[in-house]
Amino acid sequence: MKIATWNVNSVRARLPVVLDWLDQAAPDVLLLQETKTVCAQFPTLPFAERGYQLATFGEPALNGVAIVAKHPIEDRRDGLPGDTEDREARYIEATVGDVRVASVYVPNGTTIGSDRFAYKLAFFDRLRDHAQDLLEQDATLVIGGDYNVAPTPEDVYDAAALEGTICYHPDERAKYRTLLNLGLYDGFRTTQPRTHAYSWWHYQGRSFELDHGMRIDHLLLSPYAVDRLDTCAIDDQVRAVKQPSDHVPVWCTLID
């Protein structure tokens, strides 16, 4: 089973790029973030024409997550528990085949010390608590998404320069590590322990040409899932297409 995650930065603006990649890569499951649309405006037809089913969770203009799958999407849940006031569409989870999958869009945090940064750290606590519940049910679990955290110095283009800045602040890295400490595995690091690779490059300047990127999109796997992990890779060539997302797909294959 091939499972991918991709922050597309608007599914409507990115539709041709997403469909091209889908036709080439043919994943069984694609976990989308930043769809930036209400569900009624989600372009469902081109996915259906390709034999994919959809579960979408959106809001106007911002955020938005979705699960795209070749097989039936069952027992979905929209949103992360732990804060009834939180209306942002950042989490969707469902069962596809014998795997529980989730698409998560962790808040960016904007500025260190801001309200948005506090929301980001609190979101990580809620994600950790919920993942713990799923692990206690012995789920074969894959949580893919834009975590907006580069975990280690190997995951940023200039660790010294970026230390303490958004997406590479020690408080964020500590929150990300609490997920690993539950017993979740970073699929990319498990299969490629020392590869420097990025999943996001800023739109500004010549970030991609200079390879000034960060690895902030991750597939986290439960023990039963990582037992079946075969390959994990980042499709960085997708950043070079016309009108790209600032993120590229990250995918893994699980042995059936």
Partner DNA sequence: ATGGTGGCTTAGCCA
Return residues touching DNA (CB under 7 A): 9-10, 12-14, 34, 36-37, 60-63, 107-110, 116, 203-205, 243
Q: Are strands 217-221 and 141-146 parallel, antiparallel or unpaired?
A: antiparallel
Residue (110 or 181) nearer to DNA, CB? 110
Rounded to 10°, the helix 115-136/170-181 angle is 10
Least distance to DNA, CB of residue 111, Å = 9
Q: How far is the CB of 168 from DNA (least distance, A)?
A: 14
Pairwise CA distance, residues 135 & 195, whole Å:
28
At position 120, the amino acid (one-letter code) is K
DSSP-based three-state secondary structure for 155: helix
DSSP H helix total and E strand total for the chain: 7, 14
The nearer residue to DNA, 72 or 205, going by C-beta atoms, is 205
CB of 36 to DNA, least distance (A): 4
Residue 47 is inside which H or E element, if any? Answer: helix 44-49
Residue that the structure tokens 């991750």 belong to: 218
Q: How far is the CB of 231 from DNA (least distance, A)?
A: 27
Distance CA 109, CA 219 (A): 20
Task: Supply the minimum distance, in Å, between the C-beta of residue 202 and DNA.
Answer: 7
Query: Is the Cβ of residue 26 or residue 61 nearer to DNA in the bound state?
Result: 61
131 or 216: CB nearest DNA: 216
Closer CB to DNA, residue 108 or residue 190?
A: 108
Q: Could you tell me if 42 and 82 are in contact, meaning their C-beta atoms sit under 8 angstroms apart?
A: no
